[in-house]
Structure 1
Amino acid sequence: MPAGDVLNQKQIQANLLELPEWRYGLGALRTALRCESSATALDLLSTIGGLAQETDHHPDVDWRYDTLFVTLTSHDAGGRVTARDVTLARAISTQAQAAGATPRPELLRTVEIAIDTDAPEAISDVWRTALGYKRREDGSLTDPYGRGPAIWFQETQSPNVNRLHVDVTVPFSESASTLDSLASVGATLDHDHAPMWVVASDAQGNRLCISTEAGRGD
């Protein structure tokens, strides 16, 4: 890992001022780019692949018909954001603009499943084995290919009756509209931990959290 290559949150946010197409969440730079057609999206995907090869720095790209979801971290820096990610983000934005792609940050969603437990070590291996996931240093489980939602264990001596809940991370800039939409369909909202997360409950008491990058440290 190059010395001084990893960026802290203040540095990341400073760079994002010059990257309006990008958002920071769950330790990564992210964008969604909608193209004029699936063929245009595929061409842009190929262009991004070429940039990755030229820089020897490879993003995760999910192609969905006319839309590309791009995630940037540096694997050799422990999955953190580095100056190389910012450089590649700038290059991708330039090529996306040339291709006529439209940034759609409101489409960004990252889903995690949280499990309330008083003994994470007693259940972690079952979930890891069933899903084919790998264990991270913090004890959470992730799909090595980035296809499925991460699993993390919320350790508590008084697990909730509904032990599983979903964490949905959205850009802070998009969170207000998401919460308004939830309220409009009958969700009860608990803002005690806002803006980091807001707990939403449905009419049967099932919970989910709308999380953002706001208020979090490095």
Structure 2
Amino acid sequence: MPSEPLSQKEIEDRLRELPGWTFEDDRISRTYRLGTHLAASALVAHIAVVQDELNHHSDLTLGYDSVRLAVNSHDAGGAVTEKDFALAQCVEDLAPAHGAA
């Protein structure tokens, strides 16, 4: 069953609960800064595990000491849904353990 797209207001309201996250190009996204490339790589691997558990995947970009995550829901025509915010919250919960800021 396809996910229901969130309205612009719902997205704005939910983003207030996730400091550092933004909405652009029909996606929610955030860039995390880490102390080393190895720490950034470990965060990417941890996010990949969570995404498989949720069966919901983002675009992940690994930089030298950064990780960028951008997500929307393909089953909702590329719109942002509750699934995207659930993934974002999971990443927010695990990122500090990797030293992400």
Q: Please indicate, yes or no, whether the TM-score normalized by the shorter chain is above 0.5.
A: yes
- Alignment of 1:52 with 2:51, yes or no, is yes
Higher strand share: 1
- Which residue of structure 1 aligns with residue 71 of structure 2? 72
CA–CA separation in structure 1 for the residues paired with 2:59 and 2:81: 15
- Which residue of structure 2 aligns with residue 11 of structure 1? 10
TM-score using structure 2 length: 0.95
Residues 38-117 of structure 1: matches in 2 within 5 Å?
A: 38-102=37-101
- Alignment of 1:30 with 2:63, yes or no, is no
1:72 shift after superposition = 0.8
1:99 shift after superposition = 1.4
CA–CA separation in structure 2 for the residues paired with 1:30 and 1:16: 10
Q: Is the 8 A contact 1:22 1:30 kept in 2?
A: yes
- Which residue of structure 2 aligns with residue 142 of structure 1? none
Partner secondary structure for residue 32 of structure 2: strand
Residues 113-192 of structure 1: matches in 2 within 5 Å?
A: none
Give ranges in structure 1 of 5+ residues lacking alignment: 103-218
1:80 shift after superposition = 0.7
Partner secondary structure for residue 44 of structure 1: helix
1:52 shift after superposition = 0.4
Partner secondary structure for residue 35 of structure 2: coil
Q: Is the 8 A contact 1:40 1:66 kept in 2?
A: yes
Partner secondary structure for residue 18 of structure 1: coil
1:6 shift after superposition = 1.3
Any runs of at least 4 consecutive aligned residues in structure 1 with deviations exceeding 3 A, and if so which?
none
CA RMSD of aligned residues (A): 0.8
Q: Is the 8 A contact 1:33 1:69 kept in 2?
A: yes
1:21 shift after superposition = 2.0
- Which residue of structure 2 aligns with residue 203 of structure 1? none
User: Number of residues paired by the alignment?
Assistant: 100
Greater Rg over alpha carbons, structure: 1
Partner secondary structure for residue 78 of structure 2: coil
1:78 shift after superposition = 0.9
Identity %: 34
Higher helix share: 2
1:90 shift after superposition = 0.4
